[in-house]
């Protein structure tokens, strides 16, 4: 026959395991509720999140002409921002003077040094 200590140990073990299972179920339910609330708030903004991906709800349809117009506007903005047409001859470009650094002057004296390899050894 089992003593009262054995019965108490059984009851304590079942209680601990039951509380662990309850805590896991509670956490999973709360995470699922948070995900569902987030999906609903995104759905009210026009984004529908599902297992297959995200779909965006727009208020109107775009046809080919709308896409072509948007592309042309982008090209015109890029052309206006570039300096291709800005040199119309009214201003003369200033040539840049080339200055030699001390390392390039020192290495251009004709003497060749052996370079080290990738791991510090000589090639």
Residue 87's contacts (CB-CB under 8 Å, 6 or more residues apart) are: 93
At residue 79, the pLDDT reads: 81
User: Would you say the pTM of this structure is higher than 0.85?
Assistant: no
pLDDT < 70 regions, the chain: 83-123
Distance set, CA 40 to CA 8, 14, 50 (Å): 47, 39, 11
Residue 93's contacts (CB-CB under 8 Å, 6 or more residues apart) are: 87
At residue 43, the pLDDT reads: 87
Q: pLDDT tens digits, residue range 20-38?
A: 999 999 999 999 999 999 9
At residue 66, the pLDDT reads: 85
For the chain, the structural domain boundaries read: 4-79
């Amino acid at each position: 026959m089992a003593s009262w200590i054995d019965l108490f140990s059984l009851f304590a073990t079942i209680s601990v395991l039951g509380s662990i299972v309850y805590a896991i179920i509670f956490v999973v339910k709360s995470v699922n509720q948070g995900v569902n609330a987030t999906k609903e708030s995104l759905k009210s903004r026009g984004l529908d999140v599902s297992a297959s991906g995200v779909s965006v709800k727009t208020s109107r349809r775009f046809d080919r002409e709308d896409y072509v117009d948007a592309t042309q506007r982008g090209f015109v903005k890029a052309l206006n921002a570039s300096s291709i047409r800005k040199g119309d001859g009214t201003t003369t470009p200033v040539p840049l003077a080339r200055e030699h650094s001390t390392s390039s002057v020192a290495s251009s004296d004709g003497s060749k040094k052996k370079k080290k390899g990738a791991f510090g050894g000589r090639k």
